[in-house]
Amino acid sequence: MLNILTHGDPAAPKLLIAHGLFGSGRNWNVIAKRLSDQYFVVCPDMRNHGSSPRFDTHSYFDMADDLAELLDGPSYVVGHSMGGKAAMVLALRHPELVKRLIVADIAPVTYRHTQSQHINAMRSVDLSAIERRSEAGKNLDPEVRDFLLQSLDVKEKRWLLNLDTLEAEMPKILSFPEVSGSYDGPALFLSGADSDYVQPEHRPAIKNLFPNAHFAKLRDAGHWLHAQKPREFEAAVRAFCV
């Protein structure tokens, strides 16, 4: 169902990468192409993102089930931020499909910050007057401008995001659902050393659901650790997914 980009030999071990909020599978092209020498890398557009279908719902159960449809056996699973929460729920609901799990800079907790301001900023762009992607960036937060603009289809003058559903479902995106059981397989919680998304007080919740969890940080990286330190992120994936 999801639109996917693939890299590498389909006969190689499968590695699924789930992107974060407002992202797309192609955000991961550089890392995915480098990893494709060892893995068959699958990078989906999550529901309500990119070229994947639009829905009225955006729960982590929805997203986990979407990801499960892409896996036909035990696979390596990597997820960042929103995609990390979806990957966690996938591992908890379908442990037989997850050989090893890497969760990038997110914890199974509810966060207080919201991302609705970015939705409002994207809506405020007069797309009818846009001829070049750079022209749309004036209203956007400089810290995430380039990232958000990757989801702008200038030719069709539309955002490749279901902004209405993402706004309506923001409370679900910020939270983490009640999930029974645990995932006993190897799990790596990889964080940016400069990020505040994964705190020491989150570890009991992580260990409760993922008793075999390991923790590591990338130096001089924040929440967007894979974009800020791509080679280090790639090396961590290769070291863990063996």
- On whether the CB atoms of residues 50 and 22 are closer than 8 A, the answer is no
CA 158 and chain centroid, separation? 22
Annotated catalytic residue 36: no
How far apart CA 135 and CA 177 sit, in angstroms, is 39
CA 208 and chain centroid, separation? 22
Instruction: Give every CB contact of residue 204 below 8 A, 6+ residues apart in sequence.
Output: none
Annotated catalytic residue 124: no
Residue 160 per-residue DSSP state = S
Annotated catalytic residue 223: yes
- On whether the CB atoms of residues 192 and 223 are closer than 8 A, the answer is yes
Choice among 164, 184, 196, 220 that is catalytic = 164
Range list of H helices, the chain: 29-35, 60-68, 82-93, 116-123, 145-149, 163-168, 170-174, 203-209, 225-228, 230-240
Choice among 24, 52, 75, 81 that is catalytic = 81
Choice among 58, 80, 118, 223 that is catalytic = 223
How far apart CA 4 and CA 46 sit, in angstroms, is 9
Catalytic positions are 81, 164, 223
